[in-house]
Chain A
Amino acid sequence: MAAFTLWWQMHAWRTPEVLASTRFSSPDGGEHLSFSLLLPARHEQAVLDHTIQRLLESSHTDFEIIVIVGHDDPETTEVACEAAERDPRVRVVVDTHEKKNKPRAMNTALPHCRGDVVGVFDAEDQVHPELLAHVDHAFRSTDADVVQGGVQLINFNSSWYSLRNCLEYFFWFRSRLHLHAQKGFIPLGGNTVFVRTDVLRAADGWDPDCLAEDCDLGVRLSSIGKKVVVAYDSDMVTKEETPGSLMSLLKQRTRWNQGFLQVYRKKDWKQLPGFGQRLLARYTLMTPYLQAISGVIIPLNVAVALFLDVPVGIAFITFLPAVTAFVTFVFELVGLHDFGKQYGLRVRFVHYLKLIVGGPFYQVLLAGAAVRAVWREQQGRNDWELTSHVGAHLTDVGAARALEATEATEAAAVATRGSREDVPA
């Protein structure tokens, strides 16, 4: 199991040719598609304006920005309306759902989209001005229905877990997602994702009740045979930051895991034509739980081999998982080096040390999130009312974010929140 993960994690680096194929190709200058960029914002008045301004700096000539705000969120609405007055390309859509979440907000905005392609960003994203031109070219040159761009956490030195979290994103977007695209089963990321508007409308938009609506959309689209293209360029990625606290990271993880489990249970993936694809789907959606299990089993195995009196042959076999885990570890170190190189960041010795020492603790965190997700899902099923439970959970997260947002206001325009990056890793 660890061996599979490793195999897939290293997908992009298998050969130089594969690595080259994971990048965006250079745009040819022609721009033919129009974009509608969805920007759901909730209690994010501190950073929203900055994000809108950056998006408006895009070199692409034909796009609109649709900011989606809640009817109960006057501060954010105010910021959005100001931006709309300044620039005609910005429009505001108010979401009036009682229980608010991201998929509902986006579904609200979907009928208002005028562009050929709908793109999704988060309110705190830093988007590269050239990105739209590249995506435009990717759509036209590959005849894709969906283009997934790269998302990268970059504040690797703010805490021990942010380092690991950054690296997770790095491996996921740099490598693993390309493999998924190639195999024809892909859980999409939560932002920097672009879908042709007609395709999206035909698919009825996002699932309003799913905790991982992005993953769900990807699974549904790839199950009906839509073509998904993934491209990663280190200077073209959307930059984000890790969740501000360990607790919010845990909550974010719990939500993803639970979302994955929901997607798994929706069984859309069973329509995939290939047996291998279905297996990959099953495996990918179950990953959080396998991860949790292996986190417990590996140390146990080594302990059994060393301290109990078992035959040498069996003891050897119990070491195998530890070996693959070790190889993964080593590749993570090299990945960190590559990450530093690609983003021009100085990775010091202490970071490598942190990566190693933090590894087991991070594993515990992941296992904790997995257990928590299973428990919550179980609770949700008991009282049937899945959505109401989901809503409670989201408000929960929303509150945490609101709190962080106020902190962020104090820290001026620095975007230090998270918990809405809907990227499984």
Chain B
Amino acid sequence: MTSTLPAVTTPKVPAQRTPVPKTGSTPRTTPLPSRLRTSRADLILCGVLLVVVMTVQGWNIADYPALSDDEGTYLAQAWSVQQGNGLAHYTYWYDHPPLGWIQIALLTWIPSLISPESMTVGSMRIVMLLVSAISAVLVYVVARRLWLPRWAAGLAMLLFGLSPLSVVLQREIFLDNIAVMWTLVAFCLAASPSRHLWHHFGAGIAAAAAVLTKETMIFVLPAVMITMWRHSHRDTRKFALTGAITACVLIGMSYPLFALLKGELFPGGGHVSLWDGLEYQLTRPGSGFILDQGSGSYGVLQSWLYYDRVLPLGGLAGALLLLVTWRWSVTARALAGPAFTVAILALVALRPTGYLPAMYVIQALPFLALVLAGGAASVAHGVLRRWRSTDEREFVTRARYAVAALLVAASAAYVVPRWYDGDRTAVTADANAPYRAASKWLATEVDHPEDTRVLVDDALWLDLVHAGYEPGLGVIWFYKADLDPAVTKTMPGGWRDIDYVVASPTVRRDAADLPNVKQAMRHSTPVATFGKGPDRIEIRQVRGGSTASTASTTGTADTADEATTGGDR
């Protein structure tokens, strides 16, 4: 029976979970329950919202949006990990840290054991539902830990889960979605109400996992630090922050260490290297200034705004508002982390010369939602509580509620119809019929798939592997036919060694820069076409060695939908 002294000095330590801000007016937040997980109201609200969000996100997940090339890449590499073939079935060249698809491999492991054929992009999107669900719950928890009232936390979760932009992007097998989940875990631990050293340590590890999943998350790290700073106690802060940074750096170092152990850290003759990979990512041709009409970045921006304007623009405005009102608003200080995240990501997107991938916005979505909900909470407080005295006249109080109701009605009138349309498309449209048809055709109409060589975009690759084509050299990621020496050396005859090209929009777009693919397209004719217009998929048979079939002028100029399919490879 031994013990330390009882905490008789507790008065020295501010009570837990009281909002940090000492200035400002009356407390505006409902006090947090001692533990979120034992609060019935929080559990019920969060649970109900989760069901709604999951229904909208999960319904029709395989058929909308259109399969993306990148999804195919990551899933194929996850498949390679599952098969024990290393980090990729082609040479892993340090394009991204591999943690992302290692996680996908884990997530899809059990389903693929039960049914190996289901390891295709469309059917495996279902695992992203799990990631989205975790992220949505984490948004709620983070909101509560940042002292938002219950309704605002619910609002943040809804904004994050139901924005048509979120629905479209979170359904896809993108590394960004997994990285976002880790970032939210980091935020959640950084804002841990018990301010436990090991929670902060864990926040560092989660942040590192986020960066190793998708390297662009590195921009968000300062915001995690800010949150941790604000939520740690003065007496233990230096240990907490040091612990977090150390954990983050050490875990992050495992990637270069991995390269070092494989002898691939620095460039050298005859092998890929981390250095080369980084150089490639950092020197990718820029897609122009985002506000410059006609630039690639502008197109990407428009593709986001096509799905939803409320969350990106509203969230951005909310972040600016919070940063400007930092001095006066309690909510603004509480939400410093998310607001700062949005600001950093916006600034990075505004680089005039950088490359802006289509999925860039994914990492901002939860923070846009948090900031927007925080802004709403701030406005609600302003309308309902500010300058309110105990003996306020009744009609003034009523007027306050009337204004609040009006604001709610107006924003609902603006948002609900637009989101309803967007989400209805998401749960009803079938964008992938051509892909499925092409996959079926190649599985049934080709006589000897094992001896057939097909150039295909990454999204269809696993389908054909399951159909019996030889992975890697039989069914070939189309750009590998030009870019991977290990593949080109098996094609001494260039395009003549190819039997089919599956010309999807991505293939047609990129063929312009890939001589072998271009030649194969030129020397082939469509034997089957699925879909219409720029989204059509043609199966083109290469006419061995003959130059006659130059009829295929349909080829290489379909760049209309470049913006929405802008790859991140």
Interface residue? B347 (CB, 8 A): no
What is the chain A residue whose CB lies nearest that of B16? A17
Tell me which residues across on chain B come within 8 A of A305, comparing CB atoms.
Answer: 261
Interface residue? A25 (CB, 8 A): yes
The CA of A236 and the CA of B295, in the complex, are separated in Å by: 68
Contact B258 A17 (CB under 8 A): no
Contact A13 B239 (CB under 8 A): yes
Interface residue? A225 (CB, 8 A): yes
Contact B9 A20 (CB under 8 A): yes
Inter-chain CB contacts under 8 Å: number:
119
What is the chain A residue whose CB lies nearest that of B242? A334
Within 8 A of B (CB), among A304-334: 305-306, 312, 315-316, 319, 323, 326-327, 330-331, 333-334
Contact B5 A13 (CB under 8 A): no
The 8 A CB mask of A103-127 against B (1 = contact, 0 = none) is 0000000000000000000000000
The CA of A184 and the CA of B3, in the complex, are separated in Å by: 7
Within 8 A of B (CB), among A229-277: 229-231
The CA of A186 and the CA of B238, in the complex, are separated in Å by: 28
Q: Which of A21, A141, A226 contacts B2 (CB 8 A)?
A: A226
Interface residue? A416 (CB, 8 A): no
Contact B5 A24 (CB under 8 A): yes
The CA of A142 and the CA of B236, in the complex, are separated in Å by: 25
Interchain nearest-CB distance for A318 vs B (Å): 10
Contact A13 B1 (CB under 8 A): no
Contact B2 A222 (CB under 8 A): yes
Tell me which residues across on chain A come within 8 A of B238, comparing CB atoms.
Answer: 334, 337-338
* Most chain A beta carbons < 10 A, residue from B8, B233, B240, B262: B8
Contact A316 B197 (CB under 8 A): no
A13-B197, A222-B2 given; A141·B236 CB < 8 A: no
The CA of A307 and the CA of B254, in the complex, are separated in Å by: 17
Interface residue? B309 (CB, 8 A): no
Q: Which of A19, A227, A330 contacts B3 (CB 8 A)?
A: A227
Q: Chain A contact residues: over half helix, strand or loop, or mixed?
A: helix
Contact B261 A312 (CB under 8 A): yes
Binding-face segment, B163-171, B243-251, B395-403: B243-251
A21-B6, A181-B4, A226-B1 given; A312·B247 CB < 8 A: no
Contact A327 B247 (CB under 8 A): yes
The CA of A157 and the CA of B34, in the complex, are separated in Å by: 46
What is the chain A residue whose CB lies nearest that of B198? A14
A21-B4, A178-B4, A229-B4 given; A331·B9 CB < 8 A: no
What is the chain A residue whose CB lies nearest that of B241? A334
Interface residue? B257 (CB, 8 A): yes
The CA of A17 and the CA of B16, in the complex, are separated in Å by: 9
Q: Which of B13, B243, B250, B261 contacts A315 (CB 8 A)?
A: B261
The 8 A CB mask of B226-244 against A (1 = contact, 0 = none) is 0000000101101110110
What is the chain B residue whose CB lies nearest that of A319? B257
The 8 A CB mask of B3-37 against A (1 = contact, 0 = none) is 11111111011001000000000000000000000
Interface residue? B85 (CB, 8 A): no
Contact A13 B236 (CB under 8 A): yes
Contact B246 A327 (CB under 8 A): yes
A231-B5, A316-B257 given; A14·B250 CB < 8 A: no
Contact A16 B2 (CB under 8 A): no
Contact A316 B261 (CB under 8 A): yes
The CA of A283 and the CA of B34, in the complex, are separated in Å by: 35
Interface residue? A382 (CB, 8 A): no
Within 8 A of B (CB), among A171-227: 178, 180-186, 222, 225-227
Interface residue? B194 (CB, 8 A): yes
What is the chain B residue whose CB lies nearest that of A277? B2
Interface residue? B195 (CB, 8 A): yes
The CA of A329 and the CA of B198, in the complex, are separated in Å by: 17
Interchain nearest-CB distance for A215 vs B (Å): 15
The CA of A334 and the CA of B12, in the complex, are separated in Å by: 23
Within 8 A of A (CB), among B153-208: 194-198
Contact B6 A142 (CB under 8 A): yes
Tell me which residues across on chain B come within 8 A of A306, comparing CB atoms.
Answer: 260-261
Contact A227 B2 (CB under 8 A): yes
A14-B196, A316-B254, A337-B238 given; A186·B2 CB < 8 A: yes
Tell me which residues across on chain A come within 8 A of B260, comparing CB atoms.
Answer: 306
A16-B195, A19-B236, A316-B254 given; A181·B261 CB < 8 A: no
Tell me which residues across on chain B come within 8 A of A331, comparing CB atoms.
Answer: 239, 242-243, 246
Interface residue? A425 (CB, 8 A): no
Within 8 A of A (CB), among B249-302: 250, 254, 257-258, 260-262
Interface residue? A228 (CB, 8 A): yes
Tell me which residues across on chain A come within 8 A of B262, comparing CB atoms.
Answer: 312
Interface residue? A365 (CB, 8 A): no
A-B CB contact pairs (8 Å), 20 listed: A7-B198, A14-B236, A16-B233, A20-B9, A20-B10, A21-B6, A21-B8, A21-B9, A24-B5, A141-B6, A141-B8, A183-B2, A184-B3, A227-B1, A228-B3, A312-B261, A312-B262, A326-B250, A327-B250, A338-B239
Question: Given known contacts A15-B195, A20-B12, what 19 new A-B pairs fall within 8 Å (CB)?
Answer: A10-B243, A13-B236, A13-B239, A16-B13, A21-B9, A22-B4, A141-B6, A142-B5, A182-B4, A184-B1, A222-B2, A225-B1, A226-B1, A229-B3, A231-B5, A316-B261, A326-B246, A330-B246, A334-B239
> Interface residues, chain A, CB within 8 Å of chain B?
7, 10, 13-17, 19-25, 138, 141-142, 178, 180-186, 222, 225-231, 305-306, 312, 315-316, 319, 323, 326-327, 330-331, 333-334, 337-338
